[in-house]
Amino acid sequence: MSPVALAIHGGCGVMAKLDLGEHEWIAARHVLAQSLRTGWTILSSGGSALDAVEASVVVLEDSPHFNAGYGAALTTAGTHELDASIMDGATLAAGGVTGVRRIRNPVRAARVLLEQQDAVLLSGEAADRFAERAGLNIVEPSYFTTERRLRALAAMKAHETAGTVAKASEAEKHGTVGAVALDEAGNLAAATSTGGFNNKPIGRIGDSPIVGAGTYARNGICAVSGTGKGEYFIRHVVGHEVASRMAYLGESLAAATNKVIHHDLAVRGAGAGLVAVGTDGSIAAPYNTPGMFRGWVTPQGALYVGSHEEVFQVN
């Protein structure tokens, strides 16, 4: 019987502590803990890694504190285009949706696509219709909009006009959520979901729905979910790169993830982070930004969450 393991993230490049009130930081950590408990309940009762990562991500998609699902970022036109993917390390089956506007939980649509195996990635209206035919929860696009994201969009447009986009705070820019897991059967899985970044071009697709870039899982090696500037994750094929370094160079999970995050991406000036789990249950959560919403569960069931350097144990 394999050890079980679970790790999640709620986006890297975490904003300066002054950008949010303490009650908001506490609320965000509470949701991270809820996400961990949801996935851990599945794993600790003998459930699958695939079920665990899907369930953990759904909790984060339903929270306005993170940029996925409810509370997702807005495009330059003030609309939402959501992305998600999920991958089964046992079979390498995967599913992803991109540019969707009406699926309450995009990760659920990605999971249905994985199960049907007719396609790996669906986009836009076709993906919305696919989810509706599958009986998933369909909402009006306005469901995803929050006052915080409207303010962030206005701030990004002001930066654009002033030529100061590079100085925008992380609260004004982007974020992503994701989960990785190892179950009792030794199977790995990963899932990622995002709204992209505030004021993004219409039709822009990041790394989150791209298998091998923002999401990757392969039994016997690792599962990875990334967060950061998606264009760099695509160029570096980050999820697959981590797995390849482990498989071909014999690197540990820590060494492989640190190399990619702290060297490959950092030297490009790309803010990035990820969570990963190895086939032995080891967990890595490196980031090269001021912080990253993250959490994990120890083999004994202890829950830990963090946003900046400090990590909190929660009940």
Query: Annotated catalytic sites, by residue?
Result: 176
What amino acid occupies position 27?
A
Exposed / middle / buried, residue 201 (Cβ in 10 Å: 0-12, 13-18, 19+): exposed
Q: Residue 71: which of 11, 125, 137 has the closest Cα?
A: 11
| Torsional class of 135: left (φ above 0), alpha (ψ -120 to 50), beta (otherwise) | left
Buried b (16+ CB within 10 A) or exposed e, 120-134: bbbbeeebbebbeeb
**173 by DSSP, 3-state: which?**
helix
CB neighbour list of residue 295: distance below 8 Å, 6 or more residues apart: 7, 8, 9, 32, 33, 35, 36, 303, 304, 305, 306
Cβ-in-10-Å burial (0-12, 13-18, 19+) of 113 comes to buried
